[in-house]
Structure 1
Amino acid sequence: MVAHAAVVLGLAVLSVLDHAVAQNNSALSSGDASPSAGPVSVNATGRGVQCPPCPENAQCGSNGCECNADFVMIDKVCKKAANSVGDPCEYEQQCKWKLGGFSTCSETRCICGPEGVAVENNSTCYAKKALGEECIYLEQCNHVLHGTCSKTLCLCDPGFVEFNKSCIPVVDKYNENCLEHVQCQNGKLGYGSTCRVDTKKCSCETEFFYHSSKQLCVFARGLNDACDGKNNDCFLPADGDKQNIQCTNLVCQCKKGFKSSEDNQKCGKNDEDSVC
């Protein structure tokens, strides 16, 4: 059954071709057409398509004259399509045919336009992406200094933080130079730090104190203040790095073997002249 259908279809195609050729020959013999009339092709519907003389680098296809592979039709002429950024061009279409919509022809060479960037070994142009936008290639984010494509998002490189659509370095050390608060807060000093307006140096916010051994700005929860027991945020600035205070039963208290001073600013050893 299938073989019979194939034979019938083949005979139908031959019949169409014979009819088209006969019409062409008839036109030639009657003087209605010149001997330069083009060949006949068959399209997907099985109908004959008569092509005019096709231009160079073209052939008669199912829809008439069609450019060969790697060529693009421009003003009825087949021009060589660009395969990579930097290939020669006369028209923008030569670039866009394979390199995509973010390419253009500039000074007889295909380049990526101002909103595009070359990827995949210069074989195509993809859109540049801003920080926080989705990306596929590193190159899409590289136009931002210290930007990268990480987990399908344009982000700042490690050691940098986003500010005003750019990446600026974080500051990890207390009293180091800074320009913006985020530089200090995203470094080791933590959320309790700030960039002082007067000195332009990283410091600790009000009610936060610098814990030198932790290199961190900690919230100064003093004696008898409530604490959560998780963040180790009980801190007495007067004791410096030798902290003898801890969170006990959700209250900041002196460690075992230590007593609070009269002003509750220090925790000293039991044998010191102090008051519980």
Structure 2
Amino acid sequence: MVLLVSGSWAALFLLFAQVNQVFRDLHYVGSCHITPREKISECKDIINEGTCWCRHGCNFIDGRCIEVGILLGQRCEHNYQCTGTNHATLCLRVQSHKVCSCQQDFFAIEDKCFRDRVSINENCVRDDQCTGTENAYCDKRATQNMSTCRCITGYVNKNLKCFKGNRRLYESCDWSEQCTGTTGSMQCRLVEGVKICHCQDGYSVFHGNCLKANLSLDEPCYVQAQCEGKLNTTNCVKNNDSIQLTCQCNAGFIRRKDVCLQADKALYEECQVDEQCRDKPGGGVCRQILHRKMCLCDDGYIEDRESLKCRKGDKKINDTCEINEQCNGTKNANTCHFVEMESRGICTCNQRFQWIEGRCLEVGRFMFEACDQQQQCNGTTNANVCKSFGNKTLCYCNNGFLEFRGKCVEDKKNVRRVL
């Protein structure tokens, strides 16, 4: 409020008579050339007339010129004087005198008032402002040129509160976002009345970490126990040139599409593919026998039922052998005979056969039985000749012997003696 006083003495006298009490603190003069009596007022020349004004920095309040714009910490009498510092609008008594002080919810640092109890995500200038949320600080990284209160390192913001983060497996928690201290333990679960960090669904504890469980072929893994999603796939290894460990078939198994099948199947064991039967020489065929598929020997090999091995077939006379069935390369030489001196078996002519002129021929042939070589004709005494009869060759009596009643007897006198 500003009071104007005219230079006219008559007007001043009348005004003074009415409000003389109001002007007790002002020195009104007829000319502004006269120095004011008090520092808080001054005389200004307005249209050639002197008028008393409160000086700059003072306002006319309650009939007095009162200094305003007082700064934080400076002396004051009334709240309205404290306008020099933002948010320092209270004139409060401090010890023996009153000074301009920060308003409620603000606090003084040096010559400024800062907002107190600032919460998460609200603007701030200093760390000690962020007391509205426990475990918060003022993040001064520019975000639209403004700093904001954030959770301190090691804490996470959830619902505008800072909770301790990096919680490990089985440690207490309030929210899943806290559970980052153990790989894969991303859930805060209520277990027997207590909330703890727990493995998320589909994960299990392996060596103190939560890792994905029940993995299948080719899925990345860290330990073998993860690989239980497919039968016989508990091998966690590097596959080919990959640097990543993945679930693969167990040792002793082979892969067929997305299934691991047992390898090294024995003869006559059930199988699904040929590769299961190929771990042994001569074994490599999975064949359907009636309603069942089983491992059998390749072509050119013979099944040894006793040892359950595949033996090389088509063995010829005098070839090494283990079983008779191998000796099928020479006709009538189907016997594997163990030669003790040589400690091995060899293919020989069958019983009642002999090796004659490059063939195994039946011996012990009787008279009139078919023959190819004379050595065959030793079934009838003195009938050791293989003789042609038309288009046939038959065993017959030796020279000097005659056939008589199925026997070979000496000619003439012997015949007469018999008669």
- TM value normalised by structure 2: 0.39
Quote the Cα distance in structure 2 between the aligned partners of 1:37 and 1:201. 85
> What CA deviation, in whole Å up to 9, does each residue of 1:227-259 have, x standing for no partner?
5xxxx66665468xxx9356888x973379967
| Aligned equivalent of 2:236 | 244
Name whichever structure is richer in helix by fraction: 1
Match of 2:28 among 31, 36, 42: 36
1:116 CA drift (Å): 2.9
| Aligned equivalent of 1:156 | 151
Quote the Cα distance in structure 2 between the aligned partners of 1:256 and 1:38. 114
Quote the Cα distance in structure 2 between the aligned partners of 1:209 and 1:65. 82
The residue type equivalent to 1:112 in the other structure is: C
> What CA deviation, in whole Å up to 9, does each residue of 1:63-112 have, x standing for no partner?
942344xx67654442465533x6554432233x1231375345655443
The residue type equivalent to 2:87 in the other structure is: G
1:99 aligned onto 2:91: no
Q: CA RMSD in A?
A: 4.7
1:201 aligned onto 2:193: no
Quote the Cα distance in structure 2 between the aligned partners of 1:236 and 1:130. 48
Distance 1:61 1:37, change over 3 A: closer
Counterpart secondary structure, 1:182: helix
Q: Which runs of 5+ in 2 are unaligned?
A: 1-5, 14-26, 47-52, 142-146, 228-234, 255-275, 277-419
1:148 CA drift (Å): 0.8
Pair member with larger Rg: 2
Distance 1:104 1:37, change over 3 A: same
Match of 1:169 among 161, 164, 183: 164
The residue type equivalent to 1:193 in the other structure is: M
1:172 CA drift (Å): 3.0
1:147 CA drift (Å): 1.0
Match of 1:83 among 64, 71, 93: 71
Quote the Cα distance in structure 1 between the aligned partners of 2:89 and 2:211. 52
Counterpart secondary structure, 2:190: coil
The residue type equivalent to 2:113 in the other structure is: T
1:179 aligned onto 2:174: yes
Which structure would you say has the larger RCO, counting Cα contacts within 8 Å and 6 or more residues apart?
Answer: 1
Quote the Cα distance in structure 2 between the aligned partners of 1:62 and 1:180. 74
Q: Is the CA contact 1:67–1:73 (under 8 Å) kept in the aligned structure 2?
A: no
> What CA deviation, in whole Å up to 9, does each residue of 1:203-237 have, x standing for no partner?
21111234547x5x333361226x5xxxx666654
Distance 1:54 1:166, change over 3 A: farther
Quote the Cα distance in structure 2 between the aligned partners of 1:197 and 1:128. 33
> What CA deviation, in whole Å up to 9, does each residue of 1:19-44 have, x standing for no partner?
xxxx83xx24xx44368337649xxx
1:145 CA drift (Å): 2.0
Counterpart secondary structure, 2:12: coil
Q: Is the CA contact 1:131–1:147 (under 8 Å) kept in the aligned structure 2?
A: yes
Identity of aligned residues (%): 19
Name whichever structure is richer in strand by fraction: 2
1:1-276 equivalences in 2 (<5 Å): 24=7, 27-28=8-9, 31-33=10-12, 36-37=28-29, 40=32, 57-59=40-42, 64-68=53-57, 74-75=61-62, 76-79=64-67, 82-84=70-72, 89-95=76-82, 97-101=83-87, 103-106=89-92, 110-119=100-109, 121-126=110-115, 129-150=118-139, 151=141, 152-184=147-179, 187-189=180-182, 192-198=185-191, 199-212=194-207, 217-220=210-213, 222-224=215-217, 236-237=224-225, 244-245=236-237, 253-254=246-247
Q: Which runs of 5+ in 1 are unaligned?
A: 1-22, 42-50, 262-275
Q: Is the CA contact 1:147–1:154 (under 8 Å) kept in the aligned structure 2?
A: yes
1:158 CA drift (Å): 0.3
